[in-house]
Structures are given as C-alpha cells and as structure tokens.
A = this chain, B = another copy of it.
C-alpha cells in the first residue's frame, strides 16, 4: 500500500470558522469526482472552537500533489488564506483499515 494521508489543523481568525468550514465542505464536494481521493472529511471540535481539521487519504502521494495544481484548489487557497491564522500538518502513511 502506497497511499498518502494528510491531517491538517487550520486555526482561523476570530469569527471566521464558519466561512472556512463552508469553503472546505465545497472542496470536499469537488472530491467526489476525483477517484484518487479516498477520504476528505471536514471536522470541528468542541475543545478548540477556532479550529477546523481536514482528514485526507489519497491513492498515492502524486495524486495529492496533482490536486494542489488544480485551478479549483488554487482559487480555494486564495479565498481561504485571509481567514486562516495558522496551519499544522501531519503527513501519514496509511497502512490499512476500513474505509480506504
């Protein structure tokens, strides 16, 4: 298995959480058409009310790279940037399990 996983924590500027969530859910919607994307889930957490987490799993690292080059992705990044105060990412090697 050579899948690629990414866990991203976005910290938003005060009052911008809902806008970022909507943008990321739109992005998730676009993933339905991309076969190489297994999982793209948008999450929030009660314990950290200014943060959004995105869990992604791709068929391979190159498929993820290719998604970053899409015009839709570039537009999203540009729209989202003013809402975001910080980003932390963990790159993962998914070994197996249910849902991939």
Contact = CB atoms under 8 A, between A and B. Distances in A.
Chain A interface, >50% SS class: strand
Given A37-B98, A43-B93, 17 more contacts: A5-B55, A25-B95, A25-B96, A25-B97, A28-B96, A32-B98, A38-B99, A39-B98, A39-B100, A40-B97, A42-B95, A44-B92, A45-B91, A46-B93, A47-B90, A47-B91, A99-B99
Q: How many protomers of this protein does the assembly include? A: 2
Contact of A41 (B32, B40, B100): B100
Nearest to A53: B92
A7 B55 contact: yes
A38 B43 CA distance: 14
Interface string A65-100: 000000000000000000000000011111111111
